[in-house]
Chains A and B, each alone.
Chain A
Amino acid sequence: QKEVEQDPGPLSVPEGAIVSLNCTYSNSAFQYFMWYRQYSRKGPELLMYTYSSGNKEDGRFTAQVDKSSKYISLFIRDSQPSDSATYLCAMLKTSGSRLTFGEGTQLTVNP
C-alpha cells in the first residue's frame, strides 16, 4: 500500500467551477503538507504549505488538512483554463527532509 494516495484523474471541469482535489495518507508521522502545481514539461510550483489541521487560504486556493482522518484537500474557486495542470500533494515527516508525493491529479478547466 502506498503511503500517499491520490486519484490521478483526469478531472475535467467547466470554467468557473469549484475544484476539489484530495489525498489520503496512512502514516501519522506526516506533519507537513504541500500542494504543488505542475504544468506540462515544467518543474512543480509550490502553491500551499500547511502544518496544522484546519484551513489555509490564498486567493482562489484553500488547503484543508484533517490529521484525524489523514486526509488533505485543495480547493480551487472560480477555476480558470490557466489552472489546467497536474496537481501533486506532498508530505513531510517530522524528522527528515524527504518529500513523499501523491501520483498527481491531472486537471483540465474547459473555457
Chain B
Amino acid sequence: GAVVSQHPSRVICKSGTSVKIECRSLDFQATTMFWYRQFPKQSLMLMATSNEGSKATYEQGVEKDKFLINHASLTLSTLTVTSAHPEDSSFYICSASGQGVREQYFGPGTRLTVT
C-alpha cells in the first residue's frame, strides 16, 4: 500500500508557542490531504481537507486561524497549531489520497502535548 509519513511523531511544547507537523506521501502524489485529531478511545475527527495548491476546507467548529494548513506540493502538507494551549493536546493524524483514488492512506500520527 501507499506510504504516508508524519514528523514529528511526538512533540511537547509550552503553552502559547506554535508547533508545525509535517505530512508526506512517500511513494505517490497526494492531490488531497486530510487532517484529523483523535482523543483517547474515540474515533477520528476530521479537521480539514486540503487540495494541492488550494486553501484548505475546514470542518465546522475548527478554527482556521488556529490550525493553519498548507498543502504546497503533491507530497507535503503541514499543520501548524498556533498559540497552543493544553486543550490542544491530542493525537493528530494526516491522510492522503491520489488523483482519482478513493482510498485514504494514513500517517502514523503525531502526539502533541502542550504543557
Contact = CB atoms under 8 A, between A and B. Distances in A.
Contacts of A99: 34, 46, 104
Majority secondary structure of chain B interface residues (helix, strand, loop or mixed)? strand
B76 interface: no
Contacts, number: 51
Contacts of A25: none
B43 interface: yes
Interface string B87-115: 00001010101000011111111010000
Nearest to B45: A101
Interface residues of B, number: 23
Interface string A92-111: 10000111011110000000
A46 B43 contact: no
A42 interface: yes
Given A97-B49, A98-B49, A101-B44, A43 B103 contact: no
A34 interface: yes
Given A34-B103, A36-B106, A41-B91, A46 B46 contact: no
B6 to A, nearest CB: 8
Contacts of B61: none
A43 B43 contact: no
Contacts of A75: none
B43 A104 contact: yes
A41 B109 contact: yes
B57 to A, nearest CB: 9
Nearest to A101: B43
A97 to B, nearest CB: 6
Interface in B1-42: 1, 4, 6, 32, 34, 42
